[in-house]
Structures are given as structure tokens and as C-alpha cells.
Structure 1
Amino acid sequence: MNSTTALHLVDWIIVVVFIVGSMSVGLFFTKRASRDVSSYFVSGRTLTWYICGMAWVAGGFASDTPLWVSALVRSQGLHYAWKYWAPVFGVALAAVLFARMWRRLGIVTDVELLENRYNTRVASFLRIWEGGFKALVYCPLVIAWVVKAMEVIGREAMGLPEEYQGWTTATVVGLGLIMCAMAGLWGVVATGAIQFGIATLGTILLAFMAVHHVGGFGVLVE
């Protein structure tokens, strides 16, 4: 293990507390999520907009995104961060313009919207195709590069020995799957909202610490 990146006991305690805390919050909603299909997949349609927003933004703190954004800023400059922020405006407009209509239809998934909107055999085929493509191709690819980013962070930032990386990644992914399977969207959104607060605070503190480490903004600009 690289001594410059090896974690100390207090670091591991923080990691364990964070994982256990996230699991506990998610599993707290297991009973609520198990009431019916609507409760499990769409939280009974009772989530507030700000909780949804925080949970959605928390996805931007996934292991792959900081690496990608850092690479963009380093290679292209700070202004290139807008490539990441640009979709936010589209999502916000979609929520404002279409949320009520989506709610009125009483649908659960976006592919269900396709069949309801066009109501033809072609639409039914499109729903099957879209659902199959996302389930078998798109989502596995997304999960793959997120897991790969987890391994990179585990190796470079946490100093995990190579022989432990696979087991560590499998354990974290397994715990996440268990929580999602038991708590449904309730657990995902609740943990996401809390992690949003933790990640935001941590990012702000890290920014101040990084600027202080290099000697202030003046040195950073130079």
C-alpha cells in the first residue's frame, strides 16, 4: 500500500460510518416502500420537488462524474464545466412543463409514456425496444464505468492494495443493491438527499483547503 495515500484508522471509521448510515437510512423506508407497486417505484407519488432535486443532483457526485469533470476543467479550462451544467436547464424545464401531465397519466416509467402517447402496435414495440435497450445495454454500460471509477478512486485516493480492490468494490455494490431492492425509490431518494448535503459541504471545505494548500488565489491564478 502506498504510504502517501494509505488511510488511517479515523479515515476508515468515517468510511464505515458513512456506509452504515446510508444503509440504515435507506432500510428505514423498507416498510413504506413495500406497501404497493406505486410506493416502491415512485414513492407513492408524494415526494416534494426539492427532495427529488437534491437526490438527482447527488447522482452528479457519483464516482465517475468528478473524474470526468476534473479532466474537462484540467484540459479545457474552467469554462468547460458548462458542458456538465447545461443539461440542468433542460431537466428543470421538462419538470416544470411536463410534470403535471406525467402525474395526470399515472404512469411509472418513461417507456410507458411512449405507449400511452401513441397507442399503436408500433408504440408497443418501441416500448419493448426502449426498455430492453436500457435494461440490457445502456444501464449496464453506465454501471460499468461507475464501478471502474470506483476502482480507480480506491487505488489512487484510498491506497487499496490491488488484491482487495475487487472484493471492496463488490461489497459496496452489493450493499447498494440490497438497499435499493428493499427500500425502492424511497430509500434511494432519502439517502441521495442526505449525501447531497454531505457532498456539498465536503466539496466546499475541500475547495478552501486546496486553495490554502497552494498559497491562496494569487498563486493559483499564476
Structure 2
Amino acid sequence: MVATTFAADTPLAITEFVRGPGIWQNWFWWNLLMGSLLGVFLFSRLWRRAEVLTDNELLEIRYSGKPAAFLRAFKAGYFAILYNFIVMGWVINAMASVVSVMLNMDKWTAVWMCVFIALVYAILSGFWGVVVTDLVQFIIAMFGSIMLAVIALNHIGGMETLLDKLSLLMGTDVVHENTL
């Protein structure tokens, strides 16, 4: 799950969190980790015993009648359509922002290029191929992110220099007071 949620938008979103309200804003996504860990360790045996794989299967076993059918349909529609459209739009916009700057092209051209590559990628590899390459790309992205942080810190003179420069900016409204 972590591999599929680490995309082009992740570094941009986290940078926005830290530059805006401050590093505490990372709890917005850190809380998902806590909930997921609790779900794995507290409920995985119960789900296995119920022989279900999805939330909707669990709802089907637990509840019945028209209200339950409505709940399952709403949940499926909400996550399959609305939620995924928002998430994919966010990720595609982030990737198009990066590609348009890096390749010096129009943002809409970058959007359609990213969508085309992702579509061809998914069609050629199938579900299992997408899962495996998600893992490989997650490893590459983590390595690249860590290397970029190390290179950026070395370029400015180290962590002490960064903290000194940030503390100078505290009174200029460039850095929010809660960031440090």
C-alpha cells in the first residue's frame, strides 16, 4: 500500500505541508499509517476468519436488506469513482507539473503524455505487472528522494547552515513560525 501511495505528488504535498503550516501538518498523512497498522494487527485475523478480501464483502456478510445494498453501492461508487478521480487528478497534475518544467513543454501536453504512458504501461503489464513495478518504482523513488535530500543539504553547506538560514527567515513571513 505504501508503494502505491508514493507518487509524484507526495514530495510536492509534503513540501507544501512543511512550508505552510509547519512540520506538524505531516500528521495529516502519518495518521493513516497508525490506522493501517492497527487494522493489520487487530483485524486481519478476523477478516481472514470471515473469508473476506474487501470492505464490501464484509458489509455484505454483516448487514442485509436494502439499506445494506445502498451502503455497498454508495461505498463502491464513492471509492471507485469520486475518490479515485480526485486522487488520480492530484497525481497526474503533480506529474504534469514536474514533466512540464523538466522537459519544457505545455502542461496539457505533459498531462496527456503522462496519461498515455500510464495507460500503455497498465495494458501491457496487467495487474500483477503494475503491482511488481510499483514496488520497484517505490524503491527507486525512496532512493532518489534520500539522495536528493543529501545532495541539497551538501549544496547549501549542511544541516546547520539550513537551520541558520531558516532562523533568519523567521521574521520575514517566508517561513511559518511553526515550521522550525
TM range (shorter): 0.7 to 0.9
- Inter-partner Cα distance in structure 2 for 1:82 and 1:129: 28
Aligned residue among 200, 204, 207 for 2:149: 207
Does residue 31 of structure 2 align to residue 100 of structure 1?
no
Q: Which amino acid aligns with 1:205?
A: M
User: Comparing 89-98 with 160-169, which one deviates more in the overlay?
Assistant: 160-169
Runs of 4+ in 1 over 3 A off after TM superposition: none
- What code does the residue aligned with 1:173 have? A
Measure, in 2, the Cα distance between the counterparts of 1:82 and 1:130.
25
Amino acid of the structure 2 residue aligned with 1:149: A
Per the alignment, in what secondary structure is the counterpart of residue 76 of structure 1?
coil
Structure 2: which 5+ residue stretches go unaligned? Answer: 165-180
- Looking at structure 2, the residues matched to 134 and 79 of structure 1 have their Cα atoms a distance apart, in angstroms, of 28
Residue 58 (structure 1) aligns with: 3
Rounded Cα–Cα distance in structure 2 between residues aligned with 1:140 and 1:108 = 23
Aligned to 2:12: 67
Greater relative contact order, per chain length (Cα 8 Å cut-off, separation 6+)? 1
TM-align CA RMSD: 2.0
Match of 1:159 among 103, 120, 126: 103
Structure 1 counterpart of 2:41, one-letter code: V
> What is the CA-CA distance between 1:175 and the residue it aligns to?
2.4
Structure 1 residues 173 and 130, CA, compared in 2 at 3 Å: closer, same or farther?
A: same
Contact 2:93 2:111 in 1 (8 A): no
Residue of structure 1 aligned with 2:137, choices 195, 214, 218: 195
Report the 3-state secondary structure (helix = DSSP H, G, I; strand = E; otherwise coil) of the residue aligned with 1:67.
helix
Structure 1, unmatched stretches of 5+, are 1-55
Aligned amino acid, residue 183 of structure 1: G
Amino acid at match of 1:215: G
Q: Is structure 2 residue 30 aligned with structure 1 residue 85? A: yes
Aligned length: 163
Q: Once the 2 structures are TM-superposed, how far is the Cα of residue 126 of structure 1 from its aligned partner? A: 1.1
Query: Is the 8 Å Cα contact of residues 151 and 169 (structure 1) preserved in structure 2?
Result: yes
Instruction: Find the counterpart in structure 2 of residue 130 from structure 1.
Output: 75
The whole-number CA distance in structure 2 between the counterparts of 1:145 and 1:219 is: 33
Asked if the contact 1:69–1:84 (Cα under 8 Å) also holds between the matched residues in 2, the reply is no
Q: What is the CA-CA distance between 1:96 and the residue it aligns to?
A: 0.9
Residue 183 of structure 1 pairs with residue 126 of structure 2: yes
| TM-score when normalising by structure 1 | 0.66
- Taking the aligned partners of 2:15 and 2:5, their CA distance within structure 1 comes to 13
**Maintained 8 Å contact 2:4/2:134:** yes
